[in-house]
Structure 1
């Protein structure tokens, strides 16, 4: 079994933060590190929760496309919400429905007090199948 670590050129360089965006295992499973509302330097771009969710999933899509996959190839999501509440859950639920319709991947949602960087309100990581 081999592990290939990939950091797409159109996402920020995460190595200074201590992770890689993608870990492809034996060419079958693809692990996507937590994606968030990050610009090309790894900084958040908005204080708005909905905007952060949209940008995080946009970045997830970039990571997936880098290895020839798309949202339909995602088997599992793990989502993390700062100060989770039902309003935020509704925003996330709408985004999941927009991307996966009536066939969403397995998902675990964790409400947290804080995420890795100041200003981060949402993060999503994924396991996809090639």
Structure 2
């Protein structure tokens, strides 16, 4: 499996994501939206976006590991944020970097009115291409 990361010269150069990833070979893993639950299914840190973002990306890492995937094999994530505002970006990016480090999967960030249950502020799903 190989991932070719492309940052077109005539587009901006984002700090935390890539514009294009071309994947060849391997199997694919589709990870459902991860929320800020603990292992018992209880909401972690109601009202605290930073803590919920850390939990979401930690849960995403656990789900990837269960599929036999590494964070550097993720090609695409979608981030859903309740009532998103631009000032939330650094908080989300910090949690994201804890999982992905220098790897920059493609992404889409959507501001949403609500998630599956009250109190949840962020959810992230992923697609990975495995070796």
Task: Provide the TM-score with structure 1 as the length reference.
Answer: 0.74
The residue aligned with 1:22 is none
Compute the displacement of 1:90 (Å). Answer: 1.3
**Paired residues of 1:96 and 1:104 also in contact (CA < 8 A):** no
Structure 1: runs of 5 or more not aligned: 1-26
Aligned: 1:42 with 2:41: yes
Bigger CA radius of gyration: 2
Spell out structure 1 runs of 4+ moving beyond 6 A. Answer: none
Once residues 80 and 68 of structure 1 are traced to their aligned partners in structure 2, the CA distance between those partners, rounded to angstroms, is: 25
Deviation at 1:86? Answer: 1.8
* 1:45-98 alpha-carbon deviations (Å, 9 max, x no partner): 212110100001111111111121121111100000001012211111222334
Question: Could you say which residue in structure 2 is the equivalent of 1:63?
Answer: 63
The aligned runs of 1:6-85 (5 Å cut-off) are: 28-47=27-46, 48-85=48-85
Determine helix, strand or coil for the equivalent of 1:62.
Answer: helix
User: Within 2, Cα distance between the matches of 1:111 and 1:102?
Assistant: 25
DSSP 3-state at the match of 1:77: strand
Corresponding residue number in structure 2 for 1:89: 89
Whose relative contact order is higher, 1 or 2, with alpha carbons under 8 Å and at least 6 apart?
Answer: 2
Q: Which runs of 5+ in 2 are unaligned?
A: 1-25
How many residue pairs match? The answer is: 104
